[in-house]
Amino acid sequence: MASTVEQTAAPPSAPPISTNDLGPRIIDALAQVRAMTPEELRSEINGAGGGDCVMDSKEAEVVISILERHFNRELAKVEDLEPEQMNTLNALRNLIDTRLNSNSQGQD
């Protein structure tokens, strides 16, 4: 009786994430969480002095989840999810950038 060996296909490699792509994706995801258009959110950010936007930790967790599905990779670990680390768009972008850089260097 011959035995068969099942081979599983390797998971598709995740697309690279550029810093230039990350910022707009975070804004798109936060706009989705807040049930508004990205343009409305950008207008709100610009109206408040531009550059950043305050969010609560629950919004940030959902944004990370959306981005993880989009990019098909883990972007934050449990130890990253401290509320004070995720209170603005820039803080969230820095958190994800740090995680991506540590992953690309094999430091996890």
Q: Which domain holds residue 68?
A: 19-104
Q: What is the overall mean pLDDT for the chain?
A: 79
Residue that the structure tokens 């820095």 belong to: 94
pLDDT band at 28 (very low <50, low <70, confident <90, very high): very high
Cβ-based burial of 8 (10 A; exposed 0-12, middle 13-18, buried ≥19)? exposed
How many domains does the chain divide into? 1
Asked if residue 83 belongs to a domain, the reply is: yes
Least confident of 52-56, 74-78, 104-108: 104-108
Helices 57-71 & 19-33, crossing angle to 10 degrees? 120
Count of CB atoms situated within 10 Å of the CB of 51 = 10
pLDDT tens-place string over residues 32-70: 999 999 999 999 999 888 678 999 888 999 999 999 998
Residue 11: what pLDDT?
45
* pTM tops 0.85: no
Residue 66: what pLDDT?
95
Asked if residue 97 belongs to a domain, the reply is: yes
Asked if residue 13 belongs to a domain, the reply is: no
Give yes or no for a contact between 26 and 17, defined as CB atoms under 8 angstroms apart: no
